[in-house]
Amino acid sequence: MSDIGQLSLILALSVTLYTIVSSFIGSWRRIPELVKSGEYGFYTVPLLLAFPTYVLVHSFVVRDFSIRYVYENSDLAMPHAYTWVALYAGNAGSLLFLAVVLSIFSVLAIITMRRKLPHTTPYATGVLAIILAFFLTIIVFLANPLDKLNFLPADGLGINPLLIHFGMFIHPPLQMSGLVLVAVPFSISIGALLARRGGRDEWVDMGRLWGMISWLILTIGLLLGSWWAYTILGWGGYWAWDPVENSALMPWLAMTAFVHSVMVQKRRGMFRMWNMIIIIIAFTLAQMGMFINRGGPVPSVHSFAQSTMGWLFLMFMTVTLIISLAIFIWRLDSLKSRGQLESILSRESAFLAQNILFLTVAFVTLWGTIFPVFSEVASGDTMTIGQPYFNIINGPILLGIIFLMGVGPLIPWRRSSVRSLIRLLRIPVLVALATFIILSAAGGTKLFATISFATLSLALSGILLEWIRGTNSWHKRGDSYIQGYLKLVSRNRPRYGGYVVHIGIIMLASGITASSFYSVQKDIFMKPGDVASLGNYTFAYVDGNRQNYTNREEFIASFRVYNDQSVVDTLDAKRIFYPDFKIAATIGAIRSTPLEDFYIVPSEFNENNEAVFRVLINPMIWWMWASGPVIFLGVLIGLWPKRRSPPTHMRLHDIQSQDIQGNIP
Amino acid sequence: MIIQTINLTTTTIRTTKLALIGVIWIWLFVMLSSTIGCSGNYASISVEEHRYNQLNKLIVCPICPGESIDQSQATISSQMRTIVNEKISQGWTDDQIKDFFVERYGPSVIMEPPTHGFGLLAWIVAPIIIGAGVAGLATALVQMRKRSRKEYSSTACRPSISTSEQRQYSQYIESLIEGEEA
């Protein structure tokens, strides 16, 4: 059966290659039948890839260790549920996973855009097919998950124990999907460029839709990864500016800039060149993410799908970048702006500033990630760049972005005067100042944290002001407050969905600020029966237990936790040792409230169940995880389709491009 | 009539402000209690201990890939942490402790690039880019101001399409009026 699976993979590659040829030649030579044949053929690729996936799943379930990938990523002791994780745990499997996700979303994208963008779709299809063909070529020739071993082992090597956690069921697939799905808005943009329609702005709606979908998946992937790092890796933190983490953050930054910047293109026909550059950068960074993940030159705690094919991804990334820029320059004349930047005090100017700031953070992160390699080559000295560097430089820039997030929606389009800006921003600025003064007086010793909270208050009050004003105006017309608010949101979903997302970002940033500046950490050596305290928490090490399982040994320390108000909690901190992998995983005991997290992590236990425990108090971490559903809700609202009303006006260039029957192509 | 409008406006402004202020107070309360809680807890370990934690996050474990001695569980990491602790209690400054490790393990043992020599390149990159961005924005705006001033100075309203296009357009409009196109 695996042979048929292999055949299916080869067939998928062939069809994809055909789609490339037919889409480009058919568009260039204006042979619509050829284009259509490629498009319809492309629709079969998800099915052609579903079959080998099924074969792989089946092989895991029946424990067919003759297939190398099953041998390397599972064993007889593995519960069946972990087959899902094993599918993407190794290099070949993760590539197949990426190919399946890309093919499905590509087909969805093509179906949604082919009626609205008849000229762009063939080119976009071709670009998507090229990207998919790259993955499929590697799968078929270099990293085939259905390759067989020439012997039948009795048992497999087993799955990496760090992956056995609830978060690992969702984080890697989401993260990988987010990265690969940047290909969709990229293909739409490049397709529009190739079709000479980059400056027509018709592609912006689709670009924004698919941009937001990939952005959302990237966001949730990043949040889940941080949550996993916090709860299972046991160092009390959630983000270390590790190269693999950075490689997922950089495309996220570029995509955030992109989904905002296309709004200006839609509204005023400006930033056409910017948006092309931003999406090209975003896709390049996404590819760099895959390069660093698969055997890049920078050492990382993270690389689990290690292989030597990182260089292939680097090559593909370089080629894509060079060709995209060449196309950009070739079609430069089609990207001239319709509108002008008329004043610094305008929303366009705020969007321009956010473009610059987001790309700066992305560049600084990139610079910091590759600088060690760069410095070794250039100066002979190796230098390490870690958390402190990124925090010091990116922190203020990100704060600047939050400031823009707060004032941007309140600044008018085109131009504004200082007087009207004062009137519009009066309340948020006053709230920010009040926050600063009150927090400083209450004992906020860290200046940057206080500035940060003041800026977040500015952003929050700006959003609430808009909501209250809007709801009030509906209320005056007779609706109740709730009805009025719902109508407000429903009539302008992109805007109000965006506000909800911004509230999520405020929650996230609050948690990051508080925990970055006010975390308290202490290592304490304790034996069973000891009592210690940190802050207003007192904790007693009640009992230490060992439990042996077939593949691991668990050390469990039970704690009783009290705080000032004598609320009692019982927490278990675990340290799990996997002798086959020689890896120890720690599961911290966490008591989480919106105010702060109380966190105990054990290190190695000795024979008397004594150990050094790291005890942490992390303020406001809860808000970080709570922001996830809020952001998701916001995107949902923002993308929720409205019933379309027929167009009531036509633009001049549409009239001009009408044919004799009045059809607009 | 005018008095009614003024009353309505002031009521709206008052309601808006009241509601907004109400919500902001709730936010401020959360911030306040967090800060008070934070600073209370923050003061529960000594300044030296805070320095100890910060330094540990700056020093790299020599045998682990990309982990600080704060994160890493290796034996050498705990030995290095002990050294840091000793030096702090002996009164060494942060810079002296960092230099101590750099002498033994090379500059790559500190998680920050040095502020002199080649490492300086790492630090100045961000301000340069932002500076370039601001300069570019300012230049673009000045140029646009000059151009738009020239445009506004003409008295006639000049349409932005060519004469042949204008003719096409007016022909189309006329045919619409006469009802020949659907």
Partners of A590 in beta bridges: A599
At residue B156, the pLDDT reads 56
Which residue is listed with tokens 């087993």? A158
Give the C-alpha separation, A192 to A204, whole Å. Answer: 10
Residue B131 to residues A358, A403, A426, Cα–Cα distance (Å): 14, 18, 28
Give the C-alpha separation, A392 to A512, whole Å. Answer: 14
The CA distance from A625 to the nearest CA of chain B, in Å, is 17
Which of the pair, B128 or B16, is modelled with greater confidence?
B128
Residue A280 has pLDDT above 50, yes or no: yes
Residue A323 has pLDDT above 90, yes or no: yes
Residues A89-128 pLDDT 10s: 888 888 999 999 999 999 999 999 988 888 899 999 999 9
> Which residues have CB under 8 Å from A60's CB, separation 6+?
A70, A74, A80, A83, A86, A87
Give the C-alpha separation, A589 to A599, whole Å. Answer: 6
Mean pLDDT of A614-619: 89
- pLDDT, mean over chain A: 86
At residue B116, the pLDDT reads 75
- Among A145, A104, A75, CA closest to A83: A75
Lowest mean pLDDT among A181-190, A548-557, A628-637, B142-151: B142-151
Mean pLDDT of A339-366: 88
Structure tokens at A568: 């009692």
Give the C-alpha separation, A117 to A111, whole Å. Answer: 10
Residues of B in contact with A387 (CB under 8 A): 57, 68, 111
- Count residue pairs from A and B with Cβ separation < 8 A: 214
Of B49, B111, B148, the CB nearest to A384: B111
Contact A5, A51 (CB under 8 A): yes
Residues B34-69 pLDDT 10s: 777 666 788 788 888 888 988 888 888 888 777 888
- Among A566, A617, A624, CA closest to A591: A617
Pick the residue from chain B with its C-alpha nearest to A583.
Answer: B73
Pick the residue from chain B with its C-alpha nearest to A615.
Answer: B45
Residues of A in contact with B128 (CB under 8 A): none
- Mapped to the 3 state alphabet, what secondary structure does A104-145 carry? HHHHHHHHHHCCCCCCHHHHHHHHHHHHHHHHHHHHHHCCCC
Which residue is listed with tokens 């619509």? A32
Residues of A in contact with B112 (CB under 8 A): 384-386, 388-389
Lowest mean pLDDT among A144-148, A497-501, A524-528, B41-45: B41-45
- Among A205, A173, A340, CA closest to A268: A340
Three-state secondary structure call for residue A60: helix
Mutate to test the interface with B, among A384, A416, A430, A451 (most CBs of B within 10 A): A384
Percent of chain A with pLDDT over 70: 93
The CA distance from B129 to the nearest CA of chain A, in Å, is 7
Identity at A665, one-letter amino acid code:
P
Report which secondary-structure segment, H or E, holds A303: none
> Which residues have CB under 8 Å from A350's CB, separation 6+?
A404, A407, A408, A411
At residue A322, the pLDDT reads 96
Inter-chain CB proximity B33 and A514 less than 8 Å: no
Of A464, A518, A603, the CB nearest to B42: A518
- Among A180, A185, A147, A170, CA closest to A65: A147
Give the C-alpha separation, A230 to A245, whole Å. Answer: 14
Residue B8 has pLDDT above 70, yes or no: no
Alpha helices in A29-44 (DSSP H): 32-43
Residues A282-314 pLDDT 10s: 999 999 887 777 655 555 555 555 566 778 888
> Which residues have CB under 8 Å from B33's CB, separation 6+?
A595
Which of the pair, B137 or A104, is modelled with greater confidence?
A104
Mutate to test the interface with B, among A468, A516, A522, A567 (most CBs of B within 10 A): A468
Inter-chain CB proximity A518 and B12 less than 8 Å: no
Mean pLDDT of A70-85: 85
Touching A: B residues 86-125, CB under 8 Å? 106-114, 117-119, 121-123, 125
At residue A77, the pLDDT reads 79
Contact A390, A368 (CB under 8 A): yes
Residues of A in contact with B37 (CB under 8 A): 536, 595-596, 619
Residues A511-522 pLDDT 10s: 999 888 888 888
Helices A447-476 and A493-518 pack at an angle, to 10 degrees, of 160
Pick the residue from chain A with its C-alpha nearest to B49.
Answer: A522
Domain definitions of chain A by residue range? 1-164, 520-622
The CA distance from B35 to the nearest CA of chain A, in Å, is 6
Residue A576 has pLDDT above 60, yes or no: yes
Residues A456-466 pLDDT 10s: 999 998 998 88
At residue A543, the pLDDT reads 84
Structure tokens at A302: 């993270």
Residues of A in contact with B161 (CB under 8 A): 652
At residue A456, the pLDDT reads 93
- pLDDT, mean over chain B: 77
Q: Does B29 touch chain A (CB under 8 A)?
A: no
Sign of CA dihedral A281, A283, A286, A287: negative
Give the C-alpha separation, A496 to A512, whole Å. Answer: 24
Give the C-alpha separation, A319 to A222, whole Å. Answer: 27
Inter-chain CB proximity B34 and A536 less than 8 Å: no
Partners of A528 in beta bridges: none
Cα B56 to chain centroid, rounded: 26
Beta carbons within 10 angstroms of residue A279's beta carbon: 27
Mean pLDDT of A481-508: 90
CATH number of B47-112: 1.10.8.640
Alpha helices in B43-162 (DSSP H): 47-58, 75-89, 94-105, 120-153
Mean pLDDT of A480-505: 89
Q: What is the ipTM of this complex?
A: 0.72
Residue A180 has pLDDT above 90, yes or no: yes
Residues of A in contact with B172 (CB under 8 A): 655
Lowest mean pLDDT among A590-604, A636-650, B87-101: A636-650
Lowest mean pLDDT among A59-73, A335-349, A374-388, A622-636: A374-388
Mean pLDDT of A471-495: 83
Residues A390-427 pLDDT 10s: 998 899 999 999 999 999 999 998 888 888 888 888 88
The CA distance from A663 to the nearest CA of chain B, in Å, is 10
Contact A175, A286 (CB under 8 A): no
Mean pLDDT of A64-76: 88
Give the C-alpha separation, A543 to A545, whole Å. Answer: 7
Residue A204 has pLDDT above 60, yes or no: yes
